[in-house]
């Protein structure tokens, strides 16, 4: 199915019916998926022409967030979009298309906006049938999402889930948006290159130039991580999947057997040459001084090798005669002086695989045991960690806690605001004693519903 305009500039071929079975979100080509990740996850601005829009596919599919619906003339309101999505999940794809497109109760162009696709400019004057291919993608994309469980909506529902659940998965985020903004001064085309394993191998100084700014603060942790420890104390924590690299959950007291550090951590470091391992804090002094930490095992090996009797360094010709001085000079230039390996913190760089424990534990252990999922402080940008909520059974309730909601995953309850404020209020209502010096004893929290969403609530400290 074509998703792009023909090369001659004509409009898409008319289709008498939206072939919803012909498109599966998992079958959309990699370029489309890449665009989806870029436009929906990684930018806060309006969809605009950029590097990713160079492809025809990029021009054809531009994704809308809910807060952008009002920007599209003739598009769905938020209330209409929510109703259309619910109807799709209630009746299925075929029946939904029949009662909307076939009966012409709404245009395909407008329906595209309900499912998060902005009508492309090149179709502005095209007949409505021209939007059918895009609508097929939009409907399949929406239908593949885990549907919200309608029985969970209120703060009381969230508290009850906390109290009755016995095997809770907590997914915590890295909170690295601010970090990447700090890296722009390096002049990299993409600040994530600081954490690119290939760049690290070529020039580790790029990473170590900023590493001192992201070293973990020793033994400090936030109320949010104290909340995870409290779940553990109550015998309710199944696993904490964390994207943090500063070992902050361990600082809070979360046990190693209850935690999967999806992106590794600074807790240990490994030599890139000989795989010699040391505790992470063994290289912290070098990092703080802006030095590239070198492997002591490699240094010792080189020193021992230097004490051995050395053979002739000069190459000889086949008849045993020494080469002339000109050749000697060239040979010595080719001689490689032994150097120690670099100690790399055991954080998972882009280009490296996640720990085997991640998939093994999630699929073969936690998937069938989990009875509640709590996602805290992450916008779920980075795969495969972002895929955790979708991998778990759809009947397992899911709560989302962060400052802003996400639109690509439907959680059952969204609790919006400062994560520390949200978890402390939940604990108060659950009758749990979450003690932390950052939580005032007399703290009062105001909770207000978000218009148009019965299960979305905003937490704010009174007087803040």
Separation of alpha carbons 430 and 221, rounded Å: 22
DSSP symbols for 338-385: P-PPBEEEEE--BTSPPPHHHHHHIIIIITTT-SEEEEES----STTG
Tokens for 424? 């402390």
Tokens for 295? 């492997």
Q: Which of 388, 391, 392, 411 is nearest to 401 (CA)?
A: 411
Tokens for 127? 């007949």
The label of the residue with tokens 């604990």 reads 427
Separation of alpha carbons 307 and 138, rounded Å: 69
Active site residue 263: yes
Measured in degrees and rounded to the nearest 5, phi and psi for residue 446 equal: -100, 135
Separation of alpha carbons 449 and 459, rounded Å: 9
- Is 274 annotated in a binding site? The answer is yes
The 3 state secondary structure assigned to 60-102 is: HCEECCHHHHHHCCCCCCHHHHHHHHHHHHHHCHHHHHHHHHH
- Is 427 annotated in a binding site? The answer is no
Catalytic member of 70, 89, 225, 263: 263
Separation of alpha carbons 99 and 404, rounded Å: 34
- Is 295 annotated in a binding site? The answer is yes
C-beta separation of 420 from 438 below 8 A: yes
- Asked whether the bond before 384 is cis by omega within 30 degrees of 0, the reply is yes
Separation of alpha carbons 417 and 91, rounded Å: 34
Give the single-character DSSP code of 392.
Answer: S
C-beta separation of 248 from 222 below 8 A: yes
Q: Which of 140, 123, 135 is nearest to 12 (CA)?
A: 123
* Catalytically annotated residues: 263
User: Binding site for Zn(2+): what residues are annotated?
Assistant: 271, 274, 295, 298
User: Binding site: what residues are annotated?
Assistant: 271, 274, 295, 298
């Amino acid at each position: 199915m074509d998703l792009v305009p023909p090369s001659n500039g004509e409009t898409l071929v008319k289709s008498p019916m939206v072939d919803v079975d012909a498109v599966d979100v998992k079958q959309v080509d990699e370029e489309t998926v890449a665009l989806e990740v870029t436009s929906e996850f990684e930018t806060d601005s309006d969809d605009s022409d950029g590097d990713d829009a160079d492809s025809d596919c990029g021009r054809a599919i531009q994704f809308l967030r809910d807060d952008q619906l009002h920007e599209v003339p003739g598009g769905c309101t938020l209330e209409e979009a929510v109703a259309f999505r619910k109807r799709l999940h209630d009746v299925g794809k075929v029946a939904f298309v029949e009662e909307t497109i076939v009966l012409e109760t709404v245009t395909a162009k407008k329906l595209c906006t309900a499912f998060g696709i902005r009508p492309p400019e090149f179709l502005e004057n095209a007949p409505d049938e021209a939007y059918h291919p895009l609508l097929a993608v939009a409907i399949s994309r929406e239908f593949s999402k885990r549907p919200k469980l309608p029985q969970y909506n209120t703060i009381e529902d969230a508290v009850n889930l906390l109290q009755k659940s016995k095997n809770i998965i907590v997914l915590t985020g890295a909170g690295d948006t601010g970090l990447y903004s700090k890296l722009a001064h390096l002049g990299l085309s993409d600040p994530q290159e600081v954490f690119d394993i290939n760049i690290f191998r070529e020039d580790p100084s790029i990473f170590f130039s900023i590493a001192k700014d992201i070293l973990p603060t020793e033994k400090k942790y936030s109320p949010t991580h104290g909340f995870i420890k409290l779940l553990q104390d109550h015998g309710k924590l199944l696993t904490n999947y964390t994207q943090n690299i500063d070992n902050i959950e361990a600082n809070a007291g979360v046990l190693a057997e209850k935690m999967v550090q999806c992106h590794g951590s600074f807790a240990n470091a490994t030599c890139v040459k000989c795989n010699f391992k040391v505790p992470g804090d063994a290289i912290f002094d070098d990092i703080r001084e802006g030095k590239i930490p070198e492997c002591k095992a490699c240094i010792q090996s080189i020193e021992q090798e230097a004490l051995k009797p050395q053979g002739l360094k000069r190459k000889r010709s086949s008849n045993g005669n020494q080469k002339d001085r000109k050749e000697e000079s060239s040979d010595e230039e080719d001689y490689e002086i032994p150097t120690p390996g670099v100690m790399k913190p055991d954080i998972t760089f882009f280009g490296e695989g996640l720990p085997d424990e991640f998939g093994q534990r999630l699929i073969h252990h936690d998937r069938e045991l989990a009875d509640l999922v709590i996602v805290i402080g992450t916008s779920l940008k980075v795969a495969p960690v972002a895929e955790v909520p979708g991998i778990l059974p759809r009947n397992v309730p899911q709560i989302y806690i962060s400052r802003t909601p996400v639109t690509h995953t439907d959680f059952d309850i969204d609790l919006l605001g400062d994560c520390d404020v949200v978890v402390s209020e939940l604990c108060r209502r659950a009758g749990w004693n979450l003690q932390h010096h950052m939580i005032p004893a007399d703290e009062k929290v105001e909770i207000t519903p978000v218009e148009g969403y019965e299960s979305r609530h905003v937490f704010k400290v009174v007087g803040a």
